[in-house]
Amino acid sequence: MDEDERPTLALGGKVYMTPEGHQRLREELHQLMKVERPRVVEVVSWAAGNGDRSENADYQYGKRRLREIDRRARYLTKRLENAEVVDPARQTDRARVFFGATVTYVDEAEVERTITIVGADEADMAEGKVSLTAPIAVALIKARARRHDEVSVHTPRGVEVIEVLDVRYPAPG
């Protein structure tokens, strides 16, 4: 099973994402269908006109690339159709952790970390963006910073208790 076909956990059948994440997926779909696919179709058409297709690398690679593009486009289209775009800047309860929150916490080893809870398609640990369905995000949802809530995170190493230090959201408007 490749990356585009893997089952993904969607809450209530919805695929939550930020406006930025939604825009990135739309841009990727546009790039694939309006730029890359027509270019590959042109190469495949040219290569098909050159005779024996069984030994034609341009033709073989082009057909394979078209299948990849079409598979990714179907995946993106489905994700966008099921998208529930949530703008974290519009969050009214800014003291609690919800989708889109940037959370600073301290773990049992006294290491302070900051993460932002985003949709599964936006997750990128190198940028500190964690999927809403990740164990850390699931544990943090609805925690409060003002009370320095402690929450239990179920990890492969066991249960770890972390303390919420700060919750932030983007400024409205």
What's the confidence (pLDDT) of residue 2?
A: 47
Model pTM score: 0.81
Q: What is Dmax (Cα atoms) for the chain? A: 73
Go through the domains of the chain in sequence order and give each one's CATH number: 3-85 (1.10.287.180), 88-168 (3.10.50.30)
- The CA angle 29-35-40, to the nearest 5 degrees, is 110
Give 21-72 pLDDT, tens digit per residue. 999 999 999 999 999 999 999 999 998 888 777 788 889 999 999 999 999 9
Rounded-to-integer distance, Cα 150 and Cα 110, Å: 13
Mean pLDDT, to the nearest integer, of 136-141?
94
